[in-house]
Amino acid sequence: MDKELENLSDAELFKLMSAGEARTVKAFEEIYTRYSPRVYAYCRRYLGNREEAEDVFQETFIRFYNSRQSIREMTNLGAFLLKIARNQCINLLREIKRNSKFDEEIYIKHDDRDENDELLNLIKMAIELLPDEYKEIFIMREYNGLKYNDIADITGLSINTVKIKIFRARERIRHILQPYLSEMSK
């Protein structure tokens, strides 16, 4: 990877990518390197399904690249990418629900169990059991490390609502994991 690009800020990279010059691809690749883990983690944990997560993840970066000319200034690249990913996830879930005549439990999948970390497996399961409104905000906070105001910006909710939802999500997860956590604390 271009060492010089690694030292550029998100805004500078985005500007370089939008300029349509020779280093457009390099700039895009650097942005991909920086943000792909977080975007993929969001898609992966929010959707639960690996194939769907991959599709939405890829489409997020494709849409991001194609939108480069229409955005004058990029102030929060991470939030912008997650906003695209979130819209794609919501559209996909809406489509699945619209076409689905099947029971809800079909969508609870555990295809990536880590045999070495029982707590992590339980957390994944607990996240899948969260209602969507809590799930996405919890993932943004815990997997993407976003600040409350960024989450509020992406979701269109007030900061106070975001705080409450994160608190409720944690309560629910702790409640689901309680038997294990109690055992662990002994």
Partner 1 sequence: MEETLGNTPSEMLNLLVDGELETSQEVSLYASLTENDELRNEMREILAIRESIRKDTEAFTPPHHTRKSVLAALGLIPGGIVNAPITQVAIQTGFWSGFWGRIIIPVATAVVATILTSLLFFNYYEPVRNTSVQAESFKKIPVIKSSENPVIGANSQFTGNKSIVSHEAGKRNFTGNRNISPIVPVPDVIIDINENGANTQQFDIASLGTGFYKPDYLHYSYSSNNVIPVITLTPKQFENINMIKLSNLGITLVLRGISARSFPTVDLPSQSNPLLRNVGLAGYVKLVNGLDVGLEIGQENYGLVYFDKSMGGYINKNPILAWAGIGIKGKITRPVEFLAGAKPYLQLFVGGTQLGPTAKIIGGLEYSWDDGLGFILGMEGSSLFYNQEKKWYSTEKLGFTYGMLYSF
Residues that bind partner 1 (CB under 8 A): 25, 28-29, 32, 36-41, 44-45, 49, 51-52, 54-55, 57-59, 61-62, 65-66, 96, 99-102, 106-107, 109, 112, 114, 117, 119-120, 123-124, 141-143, 147-148, 158, 160-161, 163-164, 166-167, 170, 173-174, 177, 181, 184-185
Confirm if 30 and 1 have CB atoms less than 8 A apart: yes
Closer to partner 1 by Cβ: residue 65 or 76: 65
| Residue 88: strand, helix, or coil | helix
15 or 109, CB closer to partner 1? 109
CB of 62 to partner 1, least distance (A): 6
Residues 6+ apart with CB under 8 A from 35: 77, 78, 81
Tokens 């690009």 sit on residue:
5
CB of 74 to partner 1, least distance (A): 18
Q: CB of residue 14 vs partner 1: minimum separation in angstroms?
A: 16
Q: Is residue 41 classed exposed, middle or buried when 0-12, 13-18 and 19+ CB atoms within 10 A define those classes?
A: middle
The residue (of 9 and 100) whose beta carbon lies closer to partner 1 is 100
- Nearer to partner 1 by Cβ, of 40 and 74: the residue is 40
In whole angstroms, give the CA distance from residue 116 to residue 94.
Answer: 34
Distance from C-alpha of 140 to C-alpha of 153, rounded to nearest angstrom: 12
